[in-house]
Amino acid sequence: MITRGIGAVARGMQAMIDFEDVTAHNVANVTTNGFKKVNITFQDVMSSNVNTKTQKGASKTVGQLSNGAKYDRTYIDFSQGGLSESGNKLDMAFQGNGFYKIRLKEVDDNMPYSEKNYYYQRTGEFQLTTDNYLVNSEGDYVMDTRNRRIRIVRDPEADNLDEMNRMQIMEDLVVSENGQIQLQNENYQVMLQKIQVCDFDDKTKISIIGQGKYLPIYGQDAGLHTLQDGEYSIQQGMVEMSNANTISEMLNTINVSRGYEAMSTILKRQSETVSQAISLGNIG
């Protein structure tokens, strides 16, 4: 019974360390565009029944005593981050639901394209390749509603992709809220491809694989599906900021520090009690 308290406090201290690690990760990404903060949950290790005897000598359960808490799991908070105007027409932020479907720039050419060659991201800070394909910062391709790479050109058959032509394309580029890409000015209007937008029914079953890239957890059905017009909104020339809040994360840090300090004091007292018990046992 004496050592049970030490075990409970030790588990609590480890839980505080895990909490602090998550908080530090969030604080480090407060200024990272598109970052989604991570939350942590804990669970009781095992609760023991607390019994007492009645006047007739029978045992009666009066409650439960927790043996401490431990790390349970982490999950991603996909709440909306604030939008900030960037002035770049290739920046496209989601207002509400949505993930871009991205195809790896290097895929296995000996097999049909499969989901193993794709991942999903919220961040919409894109750029154009030398041959005008729309890609993310890693050079991976943004996919359209027909699962094709998106190419932004006036004439897909034209070879004229010099610098001047690219500048004119950027001037005329318009992306509607439903992801329809077009080139338009007072003289012409060219409808191009439409961006594919996906979402997950159960976001607790998707994991981050680095750099704002997400995939369903292996072996779990996250309910991946394509969104229809009206279920999402793309804002051209905008970037989504981090949804981690500096003040709340710093408050978490303070609370963790105070909790850890309090448990350290309890652990010291428990250790002293054990030492006294051992000393009395040796005297006897």
Same domain? 141 vs 192: yes
Query: How far apart are the C-alpha atoms of 51 and 197, rounded to whole Å?
Result: 57
- Residue 205 is given by DSSP the state G
Same domain? 70 vs 200: no
Same domain? 203 vs 151: yes
Same domain? 7 vs 122: no
Give pLDDT < 50 ranges for the chain. Answer: none
- 167: containing domain: 83-240
Q: What pLDDT is stored for residue 236 in this prediction?
A: 97
Q: What pLDDT is stored for residue 3 in this prediction?
A: 62
Instruction: Give whole-number Cα distances, 223 to 28, 61, 103, 199, in Å.
Output: 31, 44, 19, 8
Number of domains in the chain: 2
Same domain? 94 vs 226: yes
Pairing of strands 118-121, 213-216: antiparallel
Q: What pLDDT is stored for residue 223 in this prediction?
A: 96
Query: How far apart are the C-alpha atoms of 193 and 145, rounded to whole Å?
Result: 8
Q: What pLDDT is stored for residue 147 in this prediction?
A: 94
Q: What pLDDT is stored for residue 283 in this prediction?
A: 56
pLDDT digits (tens, 9 = 90+) for 108-145: 766 555 568 999 999 999 999 988 899 999 999 999 99
Same domain? 110 vs 236: yes
Q: What pLDDT is stored for residue 189 in this prediction?
A: 86
Q: What pLDDT is stored for residue 243 in this prediction?
A: 94
Same domain? 191 vs 52: no
Same domain? 61 vs 192: no
E strand spans, the chain: 38-44, 47-53, 59-66, 69-76, 83-85, 92-94, 99-103, 118-121, 127-128, 134-135, 141-142, 173-175, 180-184, 189-194, 197-200, 206-208, 213-216, 224-226, 234-236, 238-240
Residues 213/117, Cβ–Cβ less than 8 Å: no
Same domain? 96 vs 187: yes
Same domain? 161 vs 23: no
Same domain? 165 vs 206: yes
Residue in 198, 88, 184 with CA at minimum distance from that of residue 142: 198
Buried/exposed code over 3-13 (b: 16+ C-beta within 10 A; e: otherwise): eebbebbebbb
Q: What pLDDT is stored for residue 264 in this prediction?
A: 78
Query: How far apart are the C-alpha atoms of 29 and 6, rounded to whole Å?
Result: 35
Same domain? 61 vs 100: no
